[in-house]
Each structure stands twice: as structure tokens, then as C-alpha cells.
């Protein structure tokens, strides 16, 4: 849009951005309506007449500060999304670090105490990342220690059960299936040994 003494006008560059999908199409429509109603006496009068036809005569049409449907600068939105993405990455790194710490703590305990430790923990041993690390660790230990691999994989459903509502979530079903496969593989590896 180009700002002139008469307000904003549409430009080829703006229309190209809309056609490419970089800006919402509603922006052109909104700007066109605002331009016509704000700057053109004929359009303003016709707009008022149309309002009268739709029984909105009680609403006087006055020039008011614009409250656009697209109030935010796309560049600013991009920077905000980038900042949010960086914050999300920081949260994910923290969750991964805590999951690795939980796995390390768990592995220091005797296998017989694992289930109790997970069940009685208040905030630990319940993240999706922890469940995934259990599957990965079970995978890593399948050849060298199939019994330990089986115990790790068997713990995954308990971890997922710590937070209600996860049963039907696709990633929880995937982790449960992965863990079940590791239990089966560990059983087979034990029979071969």
C-alpha cells in the first residue's frame, strides 16, 4: 500500500504479496473498504444508505480511529514467532535434560525398584521425552542385556499412565507400540541365549 494525502492505495507489490500468500487476502478487501468509506464522500453516503436498508440506521457512521482486522505488522509477527520458537526450543532442551537425568537416576536403582520409583514420583519420570528415552535405552541394550531392555521397555506404559488422557494420543500409542515391540524382541533374545 502506498500512503498518499488521500490515505492508502493498493499497489502492485501489495497485491503480489497477497497472491503469493505472504499476506492475508482479507487485508486487500479491508483496506479497499476503509479507503472508500473514509476518503470518498460518495462511497461513505452509499455505505450509510446500505446500513439504513439493513435496519442499522441507529448506528451513526462517524470517522473513528481504525481498528483493522489485520492489526499487526507481518515483520513484527515474524519476530514474535521466532522468539516463541526459541523459547519452545529452550523448553524442549530443558525437558530433554530432565529426562536424561531421570533415566540416569533410574538406572542407578535396582531393576526391582524402578516401577515403584516411577509410580511414587510427584513430578519426575512422566514426560514424553523420558518415555522415549526408555524405548531408546531398551533398544540400545537389546543385544547385551535383553532382561534389562525388557524391564526398560515394560516401564513405558507405566510412565504414560502417570498423566491421564494420554491413552488416545497418537504419540502415546506410538511409544506404547515401540515399547511393546522391544519387550517382544527382548523375550526372543532371551530365548536364543
Residues 19-35 pLDDT 10s: 777 777 666 666 666 66
Q: In the listed set 71, 95, 127, which residue is the last one of a domain according to the structure?
A: 71
Dist. CA 2–CA 182, nearest whole Å = 63
Whether pLDDT at 171 is above 60: yes
pLDDT at 100: 94
As given in the structure block, the three cell numbers for residue 63 are 470517522
Same domain, 32 and 121: no
Number of domains in the chain: 2
Same domain, 42 and 84: no
Whether pLDDT at 114 is above 70: yes
> Tell me: the pLDDT tens digits for 40-60?
777 667 766 666 655 444 444
Domain coverage including residue 154: 80-192
Same domain, 112 and 136: yes
Whether pLDDT at 135 is above 60: yes
Same domain, 172 and 143: yes
Q: In the listed set 50, 71, 92, which residue is the last one of a domain according to the structure?
A: 71
Same domain, 115 and 132: yes
Same domain, 97 and 30: no
Q: How far is residue 166 from each of residues 134, 153, 163, 175, measured CA to CA in Å?
A: 17, 17, 7, 11
Whether pLDDT at 104 is above 90: yes
DSSP 163: S
Per the CB < 8 A criterion, the answer to whether 186 and 179 are in contact is no
State pTM to two decimals.
Answer: 0.57
pLDDT at 84: 78
Closest CA to 160 of 115, 135, 126, 116: 126
Same domain, 86 and 177: yes
As given in the structure block, the three cell numbers for residue 24 are 492475508
pLDDT at 56: 43
Mean pLDDT across the chain: 77
Q: In the listed set 71, 91, 117, which residue is the last one of a domain according to the structure?
A: 71
Amino acid at each position: 500500500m502506498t500512503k498518499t494525502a488521500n490515505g492508502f492505495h493498493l499497489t502492485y507489490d501489495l497485491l503480489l504479496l497477497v497472491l503469493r500468500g505472504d499476506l492475508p487476502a482479507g487485508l486487500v478487501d479491508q483496506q479497499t473498504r476503509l479507503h472508500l468509506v473514509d476518503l470518498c464522500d460518495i462511497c461513505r453516503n452509499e455505505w450509510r444508505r446500505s446500513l439504513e436498508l439493513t435496519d442499522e440506521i441507529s448506528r451513526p457512521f462517524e470517522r473513528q480511529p481504525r481498528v483493522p482486522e489485520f492489526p499487526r505488522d507481518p515483520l513484527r509477527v515474524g519476530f514474535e514467532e521466532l522468539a516463541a520458537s526459541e523459547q519452545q526450543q529452550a523448553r524442549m532442551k530443558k525437558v530433554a535434560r530432565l529426562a536424561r537425568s531421570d533415566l540416569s537416576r533410574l538406572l542407578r536403582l535396582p531393576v526391582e525398584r524402578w516401577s515403584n520409583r516411577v509410580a511414587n514420583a510427584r513430578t519426575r519420570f512422566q514426560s514424553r521425552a523420558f518415555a522415549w528415552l526408555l524405548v531408546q535405552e531398551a533398544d540400545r541394550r537389546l543385544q547385551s542385556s535383553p532382561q534389562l531392555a525388557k524391564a526398560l521397555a515394560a516401564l513405558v506404559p507405566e510412565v504414560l499412565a502417570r498423566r491421564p488422557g494420554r491413552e488416545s494420543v497418537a504419540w502415546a500409542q506410538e511409544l506404547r507400540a515401540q515399547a511393546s515391540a522391544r519387550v517382544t524382541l527382548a523375550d526372543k533374545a532371551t530365548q536364543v541365549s
